[in-house]
Amino acid sequence: MAERAETAFRSGYAEPPAGRWAAPGRVNLIGEHTDYNDGYVLPFALPLRTVVAAARQDGPTWTVRSELADEPVTFTADEVTGPGRVTGWAAYVAGVVWALREAGHDVPGARLAIASDVPLGAGLSSSAALEAAVLAALVDLGGLDLPAEDRPRLAKRAENAYVGAPTGIMDQSATIRCRAGHALFLDCRTEAVEHIPFDLAAASLAILVVDSRAPHRHADGEYAARRATCERAADTLGVPALRDVSADGLAAALDRLPDDETRRRVRHVVTENQRVLETVDLLRAGGIREIGPLLTASHASMRDDFAITVPEIDTAVEAALAAGALGARMTGGGFGGCVLALVDADRTEAVAAAVTAAYSDRGFTPPTIFTALPAPGATPV
């Protein structure tokens, strides 16, 4: 990827870049729709990544090329004075420039070229990877003072306020703060992290990632609706966020909610937070094989209570489990995207074949399936 970004830069600008910065896609092992409820998540970074090659240019002007676009996009300081003026893929870049300037940084003008093997729209955080790689490039080119632990919040601001997607802080944290060989245990309220060893090979295990190829169905509107329901419920319960409802207090909290749909949504968030904590406890104790049932329970909760799965996704989970996966669940925001399955290393091909066969039986577009080991977060390359 680094070479592709370098080539894109040299051919677009007829000069070498000053450097190259990479940021990965992610999967979330467990903890879905908990981040914007101030709860817990446990993502790890993928070996797939977005690389930005970049160099300074004079004046407050930014020019961006992407392998996927014929023409570059150029914007000046005027277009980053308020949210939303640059649209399309370049909005993620403009959003980062905007958020940095809003935070008082003297952002250098720059030329950038982007190459990526993070699939777009597959729920693997291609947008956070792009934001993080651009952010790293601009921080280094300008010598800006922005420690790694403060970067996810700034990238999230670009996504929420400039691009206009009301996400939580998981994806930006994962792409920036993950470490190779580890899952990132993140408390989304305090932003405290703990790197949890996740050595699949030592346990003769693998994670299969199944890109469902399901078209995203109303994902943006449904995501925002889930978030709004959670916030209303927290309000009704008189707590700052659903994170403040404990597993022990769940039954009493449900009694105070107005309707069945809200009760289901809250039950998902509260039980999901609990599952993250139990998963972390098991991993800390070396019980990587034992996390399977928690993954599968998480899926059932997303399907039945949070109502964010689709037939392709449920089919992949069921087929993986029937073929011997220790656990399987949808990962990411939902309404399409990817499934991950924890499998014995010597069963990866059998499980992948079973998922593909189940898809074919249902007449779905064939899935893309790959194995993933926890990779490093954003870094110059």
Contact status: 305 vs ligand GLA (CB under 6 A): no
Contact status: 32 vs ligand GLA (CB under 6 A): yes
Number of Cβ within a 10 Å radius of residue 142: 17
Site string for ligand GLA, 331-350 (x = CB under 6 A): -xx-----------------
- Selected from 6, 13, 33, 237, the binder of ligand GLA by CB under 6 A is 33
Please identify, among the stretches 12-20, 32-40, 106-114, 194-202, the one whose residues bind ligand GLA according to the rule CB under 6 A. 32-40
Q: Which residue is nearest to ligand GLA (CB)?
A: 333
Phi, psi of 259 (to 5 degrees): -150, 165
Contact status: 170 vs ligand GLA (CB under 6 A): yes
Contact status: 44 vs ligand GLA (CB under 6 A): no
Contact status: 292 vs ligand GLA (CB under 6 A): no
Contact status: 38 vs ligand GLA (CB under 6 A): no
Q: Pick between residue 12 and residue 332 the one whose CB is nearest to ligand GLA.
A: 332
Cβ atoms of 38 and 188 closer than 8 Å: yes
Q: How far apart are CA 223 and CA 81, in angstroms?
A: 28
Paired tokens of 129: 């990877």
AA identity, residue 49: R
3-state secondary structure (DSSP) of residue 87: coil
Q: Is 314 a catalytic residue?
A: no
Q: Pick between residue 27 and residue 381 the one whose CB is nearest to ligand GLA.
A: 27
Q: Residue 95: enclosing H or E segment and its boundaries?
A: helix 90-102
Q: Pick between residue 2 and residue 307 the one whose CB is nearest to ligand GLA.
A: 307
Contact status: 95 vs ligand GLA (CB under 6 A): no
Q: Pick between residue 33 and residue 182 the one whose CB is nearest to ligand GLA.
A: 33
Q: Pick between residue 51 and residue 170 the one whose CB is nearest to ligand GLA.
A: 170
- Selected from 63, 167, 173, 301, the binder of ligand GLA by CB under 6 A is 167
CB of 334 to ligand GLA, least distance (A): 7
324: left (phi over 0), alpha (psi -120 to 50) or beta: left
Dihedral angle computed from the Cα positions of residues 346, 347, 348 and 354, in that order, rounded to the nearest 10 degrees: 160
- Selected from 24, 29, 35, 139, the binder of ligand GLA by CB under 6 A is 35
Q: Pick between residue 73 and residue 155 the one whose CB is nearest to ligand GLA.
A: 155
Phi, psi of 20 (to 5 degrees): -140, 140
CB of 142 to ligand GLA, least distance (A): 27
Contact status: 9 vs ligand GLA (CB under 6 A): no
Cβ atoms of 69 and 89 closer than 8 Å: yes
Please identify, among the stretches 96-104, 108-116, 164-172, 203-211, the one whose residues bind ligand GLA according to the rule CB under 6 A. 164-172
3-state secondary structure (DSSP) of residue 208: strand
Q: Considering only CA atoms, which of 326, 324, 332 is closest in space to residue 355?
A: 324
213: left (phi over 0), alpha (psi -120 to 50) or beta: left
Paired tokens of 229: 């329901």
Phi, psi of 52 (to 5 degrees): -115, 120
Contact status: 157 vs ligand GLA (CB under 6 A): no
Paired tokens of 86: 């640059």
What's CA 260's distance to the chain center, in Å?
Answer: 29
Instruction: Please identify which residue in the block is written with the tokens 């909760």.
Output: 301
CB of 247 to ligand GLA, least distance (A): 19
Q: Pick between residue 104 and residue 190 the one whose CB is nearest to ligand GLA.
A: 190
CB of 270 to ligand GLA, least distance (A): 15
Paired tokens of 77: 């300081």
Paired tokens of 56: 């300074």
CB of 35 to ligand GLA, least distance (A): 5
Please identify, among the stretches 33-41, 50-58, 98-106, 112-120, the one whose residues bind ligand GLA according to the rule CB under 6 A. 33-41
**Could you report how far apart the first and last alpha carbons of the chain are, in Å?**
10
The residue annotated as part of the active site, out of 35, 38, 171, 305, is: 171
CB of 72 to ligand GLA, least distance (A): 27
All residues at 6 or more sequence positions from 364 whose CB lies less than 8 Å from its CB, including other chains: 213, 214, 311, 312, 315
Contact residues for ligand GLA (CB under 6 A)?
A: 32-33, 35-36, 167-168, 170-171, 332-333
| Residues with catalytic function | 171
